[in-house]
Amino acid sequence: MNKNKTFVPTEFGPETRFELRPAPAAPFRATQETEFERLKNRLLAEQLFDATPALNAPLRRAANDAAALAWATVFPLLVFPVLFEEKTDAAVRQAERQARIYANSQLVAA
């Protein structure tokens, strides 16, 4: 057993309490979301105006993909236009490639 026990008197100060009221982030995020949707719709409308009806679905899908990626970043409004441009270019190339393959397969089948 330990024979060298030293008792230290404990003293506690008065209990300290404080209230924490975090500022809600929802209003800023909601404003940002509204501006983001406006930007997305404006850029998509510009692309759809110049596109053929066959590109409607691929362009909308590209816009949604770019929006999902941009929204995960710190500055979605800054990142979205570049991502949107990259995704729409890729969607147009893919649709053109599919059209060429379809046309070639029709020639081979005939």
Mean pLDDT over residues 50-74, rounded? 92
pLDDT at position 34 is 86
44 in Cβ contact with 63 (< 8 Å): yes
| Residue 46 CB neighbours (<10 A) | 11
pTM over 0.85: no
Q: What is the mean pLDDT of the chain?
A: 87
Specify whether the CB–CB gap between 83 and 69 falls below 8 A.
yes
What is the rounded radius of gyration, in angstroms, for the C-alpha atoms of the chain? 30
Residue 69 has a pLDDT of 94
Per-residue pLDDT of 75-95, as tens digits, reads 899 999 999 999 999 999 999
Residues 6+ apart with CB under 8 A from 86: 66
The average pLDDT across 16-22 equals 79
pLDDT at 98: 93
Q: Where are the domains of the chain?
A: 39-109
